[in-house]
Structures are given as C-alpha cells and as structure tokens.
Amino acid sequence: MKRLVIIGVGLIGGSLGMAARGRRLAQTVVGIGRSADTLRQALQLGAIDEAASDFATGIQAADVVVLATPIPQILDDLARLPALLAPGAVVTDVGSTKGEIARAGDRLFPGGVFVPGHPMAGSERSGVEAARADLFIEATWALTPTPQTDPEALNRIRDLARGVGARTVLLDPDAHDRGVAVTSHLPHVLAYALAALAGKESQTSPALLDLAAGSFASATRVAGSSPELWRDIALSNRTALLRAVRAYRATLGEVEAALERGDGDALLDLFQEGNLARKGA
C-alpha cells in the first residue's frame, strides 16, 4: 500500500507503525495524534514517517486507516471518517471490545469498508516509548467482520495483520467480547482488585508487601496498566464482564465453602481442574 494512517501512536499504534515500516508494508506511515510531544517521539523512534495533528489533513489519500486510540475515541473518530476517506480506503481498529464498535461501523460505513479488529498483544507499559517492532510476532489478531463487511476489505486488513507477524482468527463480535471477558478483562480486574487488597492490608500489616514474591508479582503484573484505559474497556464490555465476574465469584464460593469444611478433596479437585486447564491453554 502507499499510505498507512495510524490514529493514535501509543504502544499498539506505535508498534504497528514500526512493524509496517520495518517490513515495508507501506510506502508512507502517517501518525495522527493530539500531542505534539508524542508525535515528535514517534518520529524519533521510527514509528512513523510523517506526523499530523489535523485529523482531516492526515487522513487524505489514505489506503488503510487504523484507529489505535481508547475505545471512546475510536467511536468518536469512526463518526468523523466517512466524509474524509478517499475512494477505496479501508478502516480497522484495535479496540479491546468489538460489539459496540462493530455495530457503529456497520451504521457508519454501509459499503462494508470497516473491519473491526483486536490484536491480542501488549504489555502493562503504555505509550510510544514502549512500542516494539516485534510486538505482533506470533500474536493472535482477532478480526470480527459482520455480514456487511466487504470481503476485499477483510482481506486487506488480514494481510496487514499477517504482514506484521500475527496469526489472524475470525470471530463474531459478540463471541469475541464474551471470550475476552474471561481471558483478558477479568484477569485485569482481578489484578487491580488483588493489588488494592494488598495495599489496604499493608496499612495495618506493614510487612505484608515485603512478603510479596513471584506469585504476587505474576498475579498483579497487569495492574501496572493504565487504569483509565481499563476503566473504558470494562465499561465497554460490561455485560460480558459482569457474567464473568459472577461466574468467578461462584468459583470462589466453592473455594470458601471447601475451606470452611476443611475439605481437602474438594480443594484438590478444583486445583487439579485449574491445573489441567492451564496446561491446555
């Protein structure tokens, strides 16, 4: 392609730009953002070839537009794009939830040129300074087309994802959201909750955090992620996430009941079930 435009050059957008430039997937990679400092840093780090702070100017002549901002901003930008796109351009996003975004895309792009997507890559770090050209290698990149999605648009976005090293999977948008509620969003909620609990307990037991070793670090690593970002993700997927939270609470209830009874067999059954599931993941 000639011109790849990335709106939002943070961890995901910046990594995509680095990978696309390194693999020569586009003649020019353009970054659009509100922060002059972030755009300057993206240029210095080699994430983009050109920077634009003006939305309409940056979109001009784009072949592919990638929305790599927080979910509320993705929804706002989707509404602005149809009047600005060049003929033949296709649009995708990298949002962590897909149902709401896919429905907005169908409404705003009746020609089917919007392909909802979600690269399952990232870290607890954020910002373009954390971007890496190899972030997507062997990562799963979920694409969630709807019946309205144009097959050629889907193929172009699939080629982009595979071009930066990812494995693509096709899912229904709502099935995607139910799945990530359990495998991604709930783990983040639990990490924040566990870290918050430890912080509260340490106020009366100052030595508690001195005892926090590998298992605590592993369980709370993603609590180092942006709280604002994960607030938006949780609210965007609240129906599926609530279901996951309630199911997890029921499982914790089984643990609580087994502990109250002193029932080692019940605990072992649950731990073995989890152990087998983890080995198969």
Matching fold, domains 3-171 and 175-280: no
Q: pLDDT tens, 126-174?
A: 889 989 999 999 999 999 999 999 999 999 999 999 999 999 999 999 9
- Structure token pair of residue 192: 């924040």
Q: How far apart, in whole angstroms, are the C-alpha atoms of residue 143 and residue 161?
A: 9
**How far are the Cα atoms of 72, 86, 214 from residue 81, in angstroms, in the given order?**
15, 10, 46
* Nearest partner of 168 among 109, 110, 214, 120, judged by Cα: 120
**How far are the Cα atoms of 32, 40, 42, 176, 229 from residue 35, in angstroms, in the given order?**
9, 9, 11, 32, 17
Q: Do residues 145 and 115 make contact, with C-beta atoms less than 8 angstroms apart?
A: yes
Q: Which CATH number fits domain 3-171: 3.40.50.300, 3.40.50.720, 3.30.420.10, 1.10.3660.10?
A: 3.40.50.720
- Structure token pair of residue 131: 């971007």
**Percentage with pLDDT > 70 across the chain:** 100
Cβ neighbours of 207 (radius 10 Å)? 7
Q: How far apart, in whole angstroms, are the C-alpha atoms of residue 260 and residue 262?
A: 6
- At residue 130, the 3 state secondary structure works out as helix
Look at domain 175-280 and name its CATH class: mainly alpha
* Nearest partner of 104 among 85, 68, 80, 120, judged by Cα: 80
132: left (phi over 0), alpha (psi -120 to 50) or beta: beta
Confidence of residue 64 (pLDDT cuts 50, 70, 90): very high
Confidence of residue 1 (pLDDT cuts 50, 70, 90): very high
- Structure token pair of residue 223: 């609590």
Q: Do residues 90 and 26 make contact, with C-beta atoms less than 8 angstroms apart?
A: no
Residue ranges per structural domain of the chain? 3-171, 175-280
* Nearest partner of 118 among 156, 50, 68, judged by Cα: 68
DSSP one-letter code for 84: T
Q: How far apart, in whole angstroms, are the C-alpha atoms of residue 205 and residue 182?
A: 32
Q: pLDDT tens, 7-39?
A: 999 999 999 999 999 999 999 999 999 899 999
Which alpha helices (H) appear in the chain, and where do they start and end?
11-22, 36-45, 55-59, 71-80, 99-108, 151-163, 173-180, 186-204, 214-220, 227-236, 238-261, 264-280
Q: How far apart, in whole angstroms, are the C-alpha atoms of residue 213 and residue 223?
A: 15
Q: pLDDT tens, 172-225?
A: 999 999 999 999 999 999 999 999 999 999 999 888 888 888 899 999 999 998
Residue 123, pLDDT > 80, answer no
Q: How far apart, in whole angstroms, are the C-alpha atoms of residue 119 and residue 103?
A: 19
**pLDDT number for residue 11:** 94
